[in-house]
Amino acid sequence: MNYFPEEVIEHVFNFIASHRDRNSISLVCKSWHKIERFCRKKVFIGNCYAINPERLIRRFPCLKSLTLKGKPHFADFNLVPYEWGGFVHPWIEALSSSHVGLEELRLKRMVVTDESLDLLSRSFPNFKSLVLVSCEGFTTDGLASIASNCRHLRELDLQENEIDDHRGQWLNCFPDSCTTLTSLNFACLKGETNVAALERLVARSPNLKTLKLNRAVPLDALARLMSCAPQLVDLGVGSYENEPDPESFRKLMAAIQKCSSLRSLSGFLEAAPLCLPAFYPVCQNLISLNLSYAAEIRGNHLIKLIQLCKRLQRLWILDSIGDKGLVVVAATCKELQELRVFPSDLHGEEDNNNAAVTEVGLVAISAGCPKLHSILYFCKQMTNAALITVAKNCPNFIRFRLCILEPHKPDHITSQSLDEGFGAIVQACKGLRRLSVSGLLNDQVFLYIGMYAEELEMLSIAFAGETDKGMLYVLNGCKKLRKLEIRDSPFGNAALLADVHKYETMRSLWMSSCEVTLGGCKRLAQNSPRLNVEIINESESNRMERNEEDERDKVDKLYLYRTVVGTRKDAPPYVRIL
Amino acid sequence: MEFSNSCSSFSSSSVDSTKPSPSESSVNLSLSLTFPSTSPQREARQDWPPIKSRLRDTLKGRRGDDTSLFVKVYMEGVPIGRKLDLCAFSGYESLLENLYHMFDTLIICGKRDRKHHVLTYEDKDGDWMMVGDIPWDMFLETVRRLKITRPERY
């Protein structure tokens, strides 16, 4: 079968980076499977409970980079209790005691402890890159271990983690000999930062390209940092509540002007609007701008900044920009590929909320930005007509996530449901991979999704649908579906149990506040040895009535996922695995 | 913005502030003024809208949501001033309504008028400006204090 020696085949395989392609290669024949596994450097595990570390290491002994994801997506919105699971320690222990030369670890929604970080830092002499996204359970002491012990550290990227800040001297723990940093992101740390240590670290890191500061780094320090790192490409600015005095402002402007490589800007936590003009000189080069935490900056200031960003490809912003602001974005940012508009007002019906966005902004963006392929849009209201127009303007959407803030809200002009609008989106966007629907929706929208969304991999449903038929349309229609998450929708056992084998073709299913019952879940679990069916019932009364459980009781939260390693042993008492 | 259109005109016969007699005024001002900030706020859900905790915390801590912007308000000729939370109002109209009740006199903004009290403000730069020219949002950012000028009499 092999026309070439193994080394040649291996050499060819090394050009293939995508883990999906790698998985396909390994299925061609036994010989390729064997060659592939020994030269696989990067492994992606979308659900840490689908496999265990021992089997991973046995199959891929030459592993250098591991990506692991723990909790389901809805954990981001406080729907998964704290100790549900996703502990990384067993993985690090197993890797540590094997001979794997780990260089990179990327974790998402996992529980990480200081002990884990310490073990990690001591076990892998060539460790280079640690990326933690939405993780929790550790403190700055763990960071100190990483800083002290990882001699070749290049990347320490902490995104949106819950870190207990002991205000220690973790930045001081980087030895003087550490000069290899390319990326440092500690924006999510809440405590004080040793600014002097930070300045020394940046000064001795000539390859530093990404620097994202936390709120404790003041304006004058920023100016000094930028002065000794003019090579920065990606900058996250801290918090500037007070307007800068003219001298500080002048110094900042001078430093910024030297940063000709700057392409990405973020941060601006609690920023005073008058700091923005210091960044005007670099706007023309920016391809990415994240102002989604800049809650204090009003629309008009944001607009002035964005008007200068003609090359922008990615924009994350709050809805305080308003429809008017989005019209400006549409006119200015012709290269825009990804837009996220987040809500700035959590209390809902504020009368004076002229600044929130509506269908008007969305339509303007779709008309003005031909390269747009990903959108996340939180808005007050929507219409079918607008969605139909958006679908016509942008048939290239890969990700379309619309969140109308008020559940069950219909088309605000016709008072009809939004089934036709979303139907137009899935029909036009043949490459759609991710979809979130909202507003008043019946079963019809799911019929459309099942019929047209052939490439759909992830679907999020909230407060939608009428009967089990809705969920069935999706399960029967979307052949490439990998993740389905549903909350507060009237789908029950009939939909859940119709095609149990479907779930083995998917990564996971989440259903909360729906109509599925304990009996239905038990039946599902009985027929599926390769699925873990987890019931999360947090309320006290449910726990006490365990002895007289009623199969007709509705289940609070159901999370099921395929696995080759059976039931996990680390679940807390309120998680029942059937 | 012509806010004076919403107020009826009446003659003011003295220099100092006067109470308009109810029969003269044809303005239908509701006496039960509701401040947006005192209406019962809905219990914020922790799981809707679907945003991450860090953004949720950032928005909760916003100046705009929970805090206030108290400025001094003087009526020209009256040495003792009042204090007003501008964040309690949704716009110029509700501000004027409230001032009417606070000072028992009709106040206009947006144009000078020899008959009525005119609302002015001191901005960030220390200049005294006519209230009503700029959008409310922008006004909130720049206002330092308010002064109600007496009507000119010639």
Q: How confident is the model at residue A561 (pLDDT cuts 50, 70, 90)?
A: very high
Q: How far apart are CA B46 and CA B52, in angstroms?
A: 10
Given CA atoms A8, A14, A18, A24 in this order, what sign does their dihedral have?
positive
Tell me which chain A residues have a C-beta less than 8 angstroms from the C-beta of B44: 346-347
Token output for A469: 């038929």
Q: What is the dihedral of CA B52, B54, B55, B57, to 10 degrees?
A: 120
Q: Which of A449, A444, A448, A476 is nearest to A460 (CA)?
A: A449
Residue B34's pLDDT is: 33
Q: CB A462 to CB B56 under 8 A?
A: no
DSSP letter, residue A431 = T
Q: How far apart are CA A300 and CA B135, in angstroms?
A: 10
**Whether A60 contacts A34, CB under 8 Å:** no
Q: Compare A7 and B5 and report the one with higher pLDDT.
A: A7
Chain B CB within 8 Å of residue A236 CB: no
List the single residue in B with minimal CA-CA distance to A340: B51
With 80 as the cut, is the pLDDT of residue A277 above it? yes
Q: CB A77 to CB B62 under 8 A?
A: no
Distance from CA of B116 to the nearest CA of A (A): 28
Q: How far apart are CA A333 and CA B83, in angstroms?
A: 44
Q: Which of A102, A117, A16 is nearest to A53 (CA)?
A: A102
Size of interface A-B (CB pairs under 8 A): 78
Q: How confident is the model at residue A258 (pLDDT cuts 50, 70, 90)?
A: very high
Token output for B8: 């009826």
Q: How far apart are CA A278 and CA A265, in angstroms?
A: 13
Q: CB B51 to CB A351 under 8 A?
A: no
**Whether A80 contacts A72, CB under 8 Å:** yes
Q: Cα angle vertex A30, ends A28, A36, to 5°?
A: 75
With 50 as the cut, is the pLDDT of residue A351 above it? no
Q: What percent of chain B has pLDDT over 70?
A: 62
With 70 as the cut, is the pLDDT of residue A109 above it? yes
Q: How confident is the model at residue A4 (pLDDT cuts 50, 70, 90)?
A: confident
Q: Which of A435, A467, A465 is nearest to A453 (CA)?
A: A435
From the candidates A346, A380, A401, A437, which should be mutated to test the interface with B, based on the most B CB atoms within 10 A? Answer: A346
A73 CB neighbour count, 10 Å cutoff: 19
Torsion angles phi and psi, residue B88, rounded to 5: -75, -10
Chain A CB within 8 Å of residue B38 CB: no
Residue with tokens 């549900």: A84
**Whether A104 contacts A129, CB under 8 Å:** yes
Averaged pLDDT of chain A: 92
Tell me which chain B residues have a C-beta less than 8 angstroms from the C-beta of A345: 59, 65
Tell me which chain A residues have a C-beta less than 8 angstroms from the C-beta of B50: 74, 76-77, 403, 462
Distance from CA of B118 to the nearest CA of A (A): 24
H/E stretch holding A136 reads strand A136-139
What's the average model confidence in pLDDT over B90-103? Answer: 83
Residue B58's pLDDT is: 83
**Whether A373 contacts A399, CB under 8 Å:** yes
Residue A478's pLDDT is: 97
**Whether A216 contacts A238, CB under 8 Å:** yes
Tell me which chain A residues have a C-beta less than 8 angstroms from the C-beta of B124: none
Measuring CA to CA, how many Å separate A498 from each of A448, A472, A518, A520? 19, 8, 16, 11
Token output for A315: 């924009």
**Whether A519 contacts A560, CB under 8 Å:** no
Given CA atoms A268, A228, A218, A258 in this order, what sign does their dihedral have?
negative
List the single residue in A with minimal CA-CA distance to B40: A347
DSSP letter, residue A148 = H
List the single residue in A with minimal CA-CA distance to B39: A350
Chain B CB within 8 Å of residue A513 CB: no
Q: How confident is the model at residue A99 (pLDDT cuts 50, 70, 90)?
A: confident
Chain A CB within 8 Å of residue B66 CB: no
pLDDT digits (tens, 9 = 90+) for A487-507: 999 999 999 999 999 999 999
Residue A547's pLDDT is: 58
Instruction: Give me the residue from A160, A346, A351 closest to B54, CB to CB.
Output: A160
Residue B116's pLDDT is: 81
Token output for A362: 């969305």
Q: How far apart are CA A521 and CA B94, in angstroms?
A: 56
From the candidates B51, B93, B94, B124, which should be mutated to test the interface with A, based on the most A CB atoms within 10 A? Answer: B51
Terminal-residue alpha carbon distance, chain A: 45
Token output for A449: 């999704």
**Whether A429 contacts A397, CB under 8 Å:** yes
B102 CB neighbour count, 10 Å cutoff: 14
Measuring CA to CA, how many Å separate A366 from each of A331, A358, A385, A421, A456? 11, 13, 13, 14, 21
Token output for A483: 């993740």
Contacts of A507 (CB under 8 A, 6+ apart): A46, A47, A50, A482, A483, A561, A562
Token output for A336: 């825009």
Q: How confident is the model at residue B8 (pLDDT cuts 50, 70, 90)?
A: very low
Residue A239's pLDDT is: 76
- How high is the ipTM of this complex? 0.89
Given CA atoms A366, A372, A374, A375 in this order, what sign does their dihedral have?
negative
Q: How far apart are CA A370 and CA A391, in angstroms?
A: 12
Q: How far apart are CA A507 and CA A504, in angstroms?
A: 7
What's the average model confidence in pLDDT over A524-546? Answer: 77
Question: Which positions 93-132 of B are in contact with A (Cβ < 8 Å)?
Answer: none
Q: What percent of chain A has pLDDT over 90?
A: 80
Instruction: Give me the residue from B42, B50, B58 closest to A293, CB to CB.
Output: B58
Residue B32's pLDDT is: 34
Q: Which of A290, A289, A340, A339 is nearest to A311 (CA)?
A: A289
Q: How confident is the model at residue A192 (pLDDT cuts 50, 70, 90)?
A: confident
What's the average model confidence in pLDDT over A286-296? Answer: 92
Which of A13-22, A451-460, B20-29, B61-70 is least confident?
B20-29
**Whether A224 contacts A254, CB under 8 Å:** no
Q: CB B54 to CB A293 under 8 A?
A: yes
DSSP letter, residue B134 = S
What's the average model confidence in pLDDT over A529-553? Answer: 74
List the single residue in A with minimal CA-CA distance to B54: A160
Q: How far apart are CA B102 and CA B85, in angstroms?
A: 13
Distance from CA of A62 to the nearest CA of B (A): 36
B152 CB neighbour count, 10 Å cutoff: 12
Q: CB A347 to CB B65 under 8 A?
A: yes
Chain B CB within 8 Å of residue A120 CB: no
Q: How far apart are CA A86 and CA A93, in angstroms?
A: 14
pLDDT digits (tens, 9 = 90+) for A182-191: 999 999 998 8
Which of A98-107, A369-378, A565-574, B115-124 is least confident?
B115-124
What's the average model confidence in pLDDT over A517-522? Answer: 94
Q: Which of B27, B47, B129, B92 is nearest to A77 (CA)?
A: B47
Q: Which residues pair with B73 in a beta bridge?
A: B82, B146
Measuring CA to CA, how many Å separate A365 from each of A36, A317, A454, B88, B104? 44, 14, 25, 33, 49
Q: CB A342 to CB B55 under 8 A?
A: yes
Q: CB A347 to CB B48 under 8 A?
A: no
pLDDT digits (tens, 9 = 90+) for A111-138: 999 999 999 999 999 999 999 999 999 9
Distance from CA of A380 to the nearest CA of B (A): 11
DSSP A24-67: HHHTS-HHHHHHHHHH--EEEES-TTSS-HHHHHHH-TT--EEE
